[in-house]
Chains A and B, each alone.
Chain A
Amino acid sequence: MESDFVLKVKNLNVILDHQSIIESLSFEVKRGDALTILGPNGAGKSVLLRTLLGLIPHGGEIEWAKAIKIGYVPQRLPFIKDIPLNIEDFFNLKGAPEKEIEAILNSVGFTEDFSRKKIGDLSSGQFQRVLIAWGLVGNPQVLLFDEPMTGVDITAEETIYNLLAKLKEDMDLTILLVTHDLSVVYKFSTNVICLNRQPICYGPPQEVLTPESLQKLYGGGIRYYQHKH
């Protein structure tokens, strides 16, 4: 693979429980790109991320750049509050050394001795930042995010987007982000995949997010507004 590319996907097909979830999807991701995967609920977005991570069997080709380090931030961790974990414990599950934990928590905006705080006592925005920090352990070159704004209030959403944009710059990250939020796509991404089991559009958002493609993606009734940045 040419050094500029971190990921090439050709003709990807995923079938789960005899049902086709992703059909004939092809795309490429270059170093430093922010690719958003946009689509309605049940469109196969999260399945795509998990497939890219090698967690789900698939047809077609997924080619990552050699020796690439990938960090993953899942959508939800519903069972985490069943266990009395503090933040340090959570990072220890990944074998992160204490100094790295401190540095990473600082990089996502936590100061002082935050690592002793119990996970169950965090606000949804704080928890999301902890998850992002967890994804950054081991210094990955690529970060995969599954709906990072789920359950987060609007103020925290803004903070998290700004944080992602800053991390991307500071750490020279390539980001793949699943969302169903259109505003994220315009603010954040260099490319977008519109996915509703089949690929609907792919390219820079300003070019490919047309009223027609959005209508096809979400069905009728969607209001379209193009951000001019």
Chain B
Amino acid sequence: MDTQFLLSLVVGVSVGGVGGFLGSLMLGRRMALVAGPLGHLALPGIALALMYGFDVSLGAFPFVILGIVLIWLFEMRTKLPVEALTAIVFASGVAIAFLLLPIKQAEAALVGDITKVSFAEATVSVILTLLLFCVVKNIYSKIVLIHISEELAKSEKIDIRKYNLVYLGSIAIIVALGVKMVGGLLTAALVAIPASSSRNVSRNLTQYALGAMIIGMISSSMGIWLYKITGFPAGSLIILVNATIFLISLIFKR
């Protein structure tokens, strides 16, 4: 097995797994699609990274953070639903991206390219996903309660602002890591599809969260393996494997 393939696989499994785990939280408040716009919002950052030759996650991250801060401020100011605000912010992101993005490099930005990941990038990705896993595990039950009812959470003395900030920060990191893997267009699928498949077959919260993580890991590794065989873009294959697992999960829907 060649080193490059192994590196891609390690990054794919770690980002896919934690993306699925975090996605199981995001699905709870119909937030899964938020990752999509945030992925699109990362496009100007990816464009800059591709133009100046630095890591796309590094380029994406400040733009995603900027987007989240804007959404956060707009939500406090307007009380509009997060989805609506995200749509406004993401449309602006896409518009800026297409002003900057060289057409030749559009494919890598839109559907990602995990197959050229370096050892250093892989190490950073794995460390970040491990940290992210610990953070998400720590906030999981509180965020579930906030999703069920903010007033119930407040009555339990949960600091909603603090937890939402950590939660949104976690989303920003997974989006920044995810854009490298599946590109700006497909990041939502990386978090939404494993969680949706897992929900179809779960009867409790543990099955749901664990299932989303395992499906995320399996689909990423299978997608990268299929790339090795077929040569099609790995990002697209990861999402197609995810979609296939979702279709299979419908058969076993509980």
Mark A residues whose CB is within 8 Å of B.
50, 53, 55, 70, 72, 74, 77, 79-80, 82-86, 88-89, 92-94, 116, 118
- In angstroms, how far is the closest chain A Cβ from the Cβ of B52? 42
B107 within 8 A of A: no
Bound complex: CA A116 to CA B29 (Å): 23
B27 within 8 A of A: yes
By a CB distance below 8 angstroms, the chain A residues around B199 are 84
By a CB distance below 8 angstroms, the chain A residues around B144 are 83, 85, 93
B148 within 8 A of A: yes
B230 within 8 A of A: no
By a CB distance below 8 angstroms, the chain B residues around A85 are 144, 204-205
Contact in complex: B149, A79 (CB < 8 Å): yes
- In angstroms, how far is the closest chain B Cβ from the Cβ of A140? 11
Contact in complex: B29, A82 (CB < 8 Å): yes
The interface centre, meaning the residue of A77, A79, A116 with most chain B CB atoms within 10 A of its CB, is: A79
- In angstroms, how far is the closest chain A Cβ from the Cβ of B28? 5
Bound complex: CA A84 to CA B25 (Å): 11
B202 within 8 A of A: yes
Bound complex: CA A118 to CA B155 (Å): 24
Secondary structure at the B interface, as helix, strand, loop or mixed, is helix
- In angstroms, how far is the closest chain B Cβ from the Cβ of A82? 6
B166 within 8 A of A: no
Bound complex: CA A55 to CA B157 (Å): 10
Mark B residues whose CB is within 8 Å of A.
27-30, 141, 144-145, 147-149, 151-152, 154-156, 199, 202-208
By a CB distance below 8 angstroms, the chain A residues around B145 are 93-94
- In angstroms, how far is the closest chain B Cβ from the Cβ of A89? 4
Contact in complex: A72, B28 (CB < 8 Å): no
Contact in complex: A93, B141 (CB < 8 Å): yes
Contact in complex: A84, B141 (CB < 8 Å): no
Contact in complex: B154, A83 (CB < 8 Å): no
Bound complex: CA A77 to CA B27 (Å): 16
Contact in complex: B148, A83 (CB < 8 Å): yes
Contact in complex: B28, A79 (CB < 8 Å): yes
Known pairs A55-B155, A92-B141; A82 contacts B203 (CB<8 A): no
Tell me which of A53, A72, A79 contacts B147 (CB under 8 A). Answer: A79
By a CB distance below 8 angstroms, the chain A residues around B152 are 72, 74, 77
Known pairs A55-B154, A72-B155, A77-B152; A84 contacts B147 (CB<8 A): no
Contact in complex: B148, A86 (CB < 8 Å): no
Contact in complex: A80, B148 (CB < 8 Å): yes
Bound complex: CA A83 to CA B148 (Å): 9
Contact in complex: A83, B147 (CB < 8 Å): yes
By a CB distance below 8 angstroms, the chain A residues around B207 are 84
Known pairs A85-B204, A92-B141, A118-B204; A79 contacts B151 (CB<8 A): no
Contact in complex: A82, B27 (CB < 8 Å): yes
- In angstroms, how far is the closest chain A Cβ from the Cβ of B213? 15
Contact in complex: A53, B155 (CB < 8 Å): yes
Bound complex: CA A89 to CA B207 (Å): 11
Contact in complex: A55, B151 (CB < 8 Å): yes
Q: List 14 A-B contacts (CB under 8 A).
A: A55-B154, A55-B155, A70-B155, A74-B152, A77-B152, A79-B147, A83-B28, A83-B147, A83-B148, A83-B208, A84-B202, A88-B204, A89-B205, A93-B145
Contact in complex: A86, B154 (CB < 8 Å): no
Contact in complex: A84, B149 (CB < 8 Å): no
By a CB distance below 8 angstroms, the chain B residues around A82 are 27-30, 147
